[in-house]
Amino acid sequence: MRAIHHLVSLSGGKDSTATLLLARMQFPDSFSAVFADTGNEHELTHEYLLYLEAALGIKVKRLKADFSDRYASKRKWITEKWPEHGIPAAQCEEALVLLHPTGNPFLDLCMLKGRFPSRMAQFCTDELKIKPLTEYALDLIDLADCDVWSWQGVRRDESDARRNAVGHEEIGAGIWAHRPIAGWTAQQTVDFVVKLCGVQLNPLYSLGMTRVGCMPCINAKKAEIAEISRRFPEHIDRIAQWEKLVIAVSKRRGASFFPAPTGDNRGVLRGGDIYAQVKWAKTLRGGKVVDEQWEQDAPACASSYGLCG
31-40, 188-197, 209-218: range with lowest mean pLDDT: 209-218
* Domain edge (last residue) among 155, 177, 205: 205
133 and 273 assigned to the same domain: no
Q: Using the predicted structure, report yes or no on whether residue 265 has a pLDDT greater than 90.
A: no
Q: Which of 38, 58, 42, 39 is nearest to 50 (CA)?
A: 58
253 and 290 assigned to the same domain: yes
41 and 133 assigned to the same domain: yes
* Domain edge (last residue) among 139, 172, 205: 205
| Segment (H or E) for 219 | none
47 and 129 assigned to the same domain: yes
Q: Which residues pair with 36 in a beta bridge?
A: 63
Under 8 Å between Cβ of 33 and 8 = yes
103 pLDDT band, cuts 50/70/90, is very high
76-90 residue pLDDT tens? 999 999 999 999 999
pLDDT of residue 266: 42
User: Using the 8-state DSSP alphabet, how is residue 110 labeled?
Assistant: H
224 and 146 assigned to the same domain: no
Domain count of the fold of the chain: 3
pLDDT of residue 288: 64
Q: Using the predicted structure, report yes or no on whether residue 268 has a pLDDT greater than 50.
A: no
60 and 199 assigned to the same domain: yes
Q: Which domain holds residue 149?
A: 3-66+122-205
Q: Which residues pair with 177 in a beta bridge?
A: 150, 169
DSSP string, 43-101: HHHHHHHHHHHHHHT--EEEE----GGGHHHHHHHHHHHTGGGT--HHHHHHHHHH-S-
149 and 290 assigned to the same domain: no
46-50, 52-56, 305-309: range with lowest mean pLDDT: 305-309
Domain-embedded: residue 211: no
pLDDT of residue 97: 97
270-299 residue pLDDT tens? 457 899 889 888 887 666 667 667 777 777
pLDDT of residue 262: 44
* Domain edge (last residue) among 175, 205, 235: 205
